[in-house]
Amino acid sequence: MTAAVSLAGLLVATLGASPSQAAADNQSCRPDGMYSTPGVDVPYCDVYDAAGREKMGADHQRRIIGYFTGWRTGQDGTPAYLVNDIPWDKVTHLNYAFGHVGSDNKLSVGTDGPTNAATGMTFPGVAGAEMDPSLPYKGHFNLLTKFKMQYPNVKTLISVGGWAETGGYLGDDGKRISSGGFYGMTVNADGSVNQAGIDTFAASAVDFIKKYGFNGVDIDYEYPTSMKDAGNPLDATISNAKRGSLVKGYAALMKTLREKLDRAGATDGKYYMLSVAAPSSGYLLRGMETFQVTQYLDYVNIMSYDLHGAWNQYVGPNASLYDDGKDAELASANVYGTSQYGGIGYLNTDWAFHYFRGAMPAGRINVGLPYYTRGFKNVTGGTNGLWGTASTTTCPAGSGLTTCGDGAVGIDNLWHDLDDNGKEAPAGSNPMWHAKNLEAGVVPDYLGKYGLTDTALQGTYTRNYSSSLVAPWLWNSTKKVFLSTEDDQSVAAKADYVVAQGAGGAMIWELAGDYRWDATANGGKGEYVQGSTLTSVMYDKFKAASAYGATRSTIALPQQTLPIDVSFTNFALGDSNYPINPKIHLVNNSALTLPGGTEFQFDYANSAPGNAKDQSGFGLSVIRQDNTAANNVGGLKGTYNRVSVKLPSWQSLAPGASVDIDFVYYLPVSTPANWTVNVGGTLYGLTGDWTRGASGATSSPSASASQSASPSASASASASPSSSPSASASASASTSASASASASPTGGTCTAPGWSATTAYATAGTTVSWKGRTYSNKWWTQGEDPTTTGQWGVWSDLGPC
């Protein structure tokens, strides 16, 4: 409480605010590293405890987040999975899939009416699925609200997007409308951020969750990356034209959502959550810069699946936990043989967890689990199919591929999609209950309901398991079919991993794929049906676990901070982004002049090896590596690589001045964190790190000079180097002072043009004055009040004028 009160007091001088005692109390519950909307008393304590951990009930130490899909209604004769089928006593959160971005840029689930599964449909005769007549809506939303009354610790979120509805949406007739979706709502045709569209969507999202009783919003945008052709091929003409702006649009969307949810929560006295479904592939993440939106999220749900599938020929597990050094796709690209990669394989869950761990506490990260299979046919080579190949030139319509993987079909593809011509898309996609029937040699009684005419089992589906990958699969040597699965052994091992890593929990796509054995089914012969076996395995593991990790840094950090703005800019696009070499853009928004020799330290995720360097003459070097192994077989050790970089002896940084430093690395990392800056022997953190317990910005040199860093923080921050890369090239430093850097930091007359809400600031680095301060924009903007965008927003605060 002392630190929170101190933070509030210091912010009075900096922001001109008069925070109440309630504001200080709420700040004490804010999760470590989470952005705080300026001037808003966000009711964090509604959801978080005094350690910044989410409150989920006594038997839920970790999250179990289940995606519930709206289309398994049973109307087509296939088995229904309704809200009453959810294991409500086992889950902590439910994500309803999906809402979409309508043509008007508003969140929608389609036109209301008796055929709308979300808001209008009823399920007569289904025990437990009776509507609550007191609610003004029906459908799944009625049942979700009804069951939440019985299980008040379970939170529900509306998930928006998904594979089919990222760049468009499914109309009321089931046909896809290519409206632009997220791509159009966030980015204009000229590549500028569509703030008007974002504002419209965010306002509608707030209205939506209030109307239907949701606890928050989950964004499943697939994918805001600069990698060409990434995402649904049906969206390629829209998405590829905007690749250079998608990350900026994504950041603007998440910041706007966070702030609108926070303001609504403050008004309602109820905290509203924000999460995303995030990719796990190193390929996709390379084009998402440093995934700078983590600061706005309550947690991230990693889609740590779809790591191998019939989009290419390489036969491998859908969702392996670890790399085994033999991944055929990585080997074909010489990833293991390229020294700069450090032998690190990046198509596995552990790599993805460490990627996000670089920017977030472990407890704000949830590991994804697939309750469905991926599979191939006509597999050649490999060990019982594993790391073999399966290719074909007959690829799904609309994919744009001339060569692709030979995906399993028919009885091995029960949950298949249809391509543009209405034909089965080969993918080997099955619920786990169907895979268990194949494994058991059971001919189930539901095959005809899925349109299958060839219902005979051919050959034997033999279960295999790799403990080094933590991945089971079925191999049919007669048909040469490989189906990557999950079962109680792999899920138990992944649950143990979550606990050991201090992770927040697990996310499931999707609940309807879970299984149980029903001895009375199939005419009394028995078969596997929908159930909750795997979810129960996780629940039993998690309820006895310790609390999740709520702290981002693994070393002690100083409590006093400086408002030095850090951003990562100048990323190359797509395949050109190798090595990854952005600029670290530092802006000194403090009242202190940073002298030559000032040392900055920060951590970056060990999802990249500890060989980062710079090419700007600053001597950037890695001074500590948690993972010192030559690869990541069996998992990465520790969390971070710690970096030191100093201003040259001849280069000071005055208040308002900026400097750019090259930062070169070879595998993707999330936004570096845990910054410290040593100014004349006094150690500070950075305000923009949003570290819990930090004492806020220093408002004047005299206020900070007398505060020395704690011994433990200093000792930790000066850890001895365990690696000293010598690859730094010497080049001249790129330094710049903003146009207003000469303005007096303590007052005076504003000389820059006044900010205007109607002016489009198209050129980065344009300076404006507003409310007695000077600001500089980082990218195109219009209508964004400089006082509201915050430390990591579009406007950099250059100080008073």
Q: Which of 59, 88, 103 finishes a domain?
A: 59
Distance CA 468, CA 325 (A): 10
- Residue 181 located in a structural domain: no
Q: Is 624 part of any domain?
A: no
Backbone angles phi, psi at 795, to 5 degrees: -100, 125
Q: Residue 199's closest CA among 130, 249, 267?
A: 249
What pLDDT is stored for residue 8 in this prediction?
A: 29
What per-residue confidence (pLDDT) applies to 393? 92
Distances (CA, A) of 748 to 737, 773, 796, 800, 801: 19, 10, 19, 8, 5
| Interval 613-628: pLDDT, tens | 998 889 999 999 999 9
Report the domain count for the chain: 2
Predicted pLDDT of residue 741: 31
Q: How far apart are CA 568 and CA 672, in angstroms?
A: 9
pLDDT of residue 722: 31
- Residue 173, burial from CB neighbour count under 10 angstroms (0-12, 13-18, 19+): exposed
Last residue of a domain, one of 59, 74, 95: 59
pLDDT at res. 167: 97
The answer to whether 260 touches 205, Cβ cutoff 8 Å, is: yes
Report pLDDT for 463.
Answer: 98
786 in any annotated domain: yes
From the number of C-beta atoms within 10 Å of its C-beta (0-12, 13-18, 19+), residue 443 rates as: middle
DSSP letter, residue 572 = P
Nearest partner of 563 among 749, 694, 681, 651, judged by Cα: 694
The per-residue pLDDT for 792 is 60
Burial of 747: CB neighbours in 10 Å, binned 0-12, 13-18, 19+? exposed
pLDDT at 747: 36
Q: Max CA-CA distance within the chain?
A: 87
- Of the residues 59, 94, 109, which one is the last residue of a structural domain? 59
Pick from 395, 396, 390: nearest CA to 377? 390
Q: At 323, phi and psi to the nearest 5?
A: -90, 145
pLDDT at 748: 45
- Tell me which residue range forms the domain holding 783: 743-801
pLDDT of residue 773: 83
pTM for the model stands at 0.86
Under a CB-based contact definition with an 8 Å cutoff, are residues 162 and 226 in contact?
no
Where residue 786 sits, what CATH number does that domain have?
A: 2.10.10.20
- Examine residue 21 and state whether it is found in any structural domain, yes or no: yes
706 exposure class (CB count in 10 Å sphere: 0-12, 13-18, 19+): exposed
> Which residues of the chain are modeled with pLDDT < 70?
1-24, 696-749, 790-792
- Whether 463 maps to a domain, the answer reads no
* Helix (H) or strand (E) segment spanning residue 251: helix 246-268
Look at the block and give the residue holding tokens 């995934």.
Answer: 291
pLDDT of 24 reads: 52
CA distance 190 to 184: 11
- Cβ distance 488 to 470 under 8 Å? no
Has residue 598 been placed in a domain?
A: no
Give the pLDDT confidence score for residue 765 in this predicted structure.
81
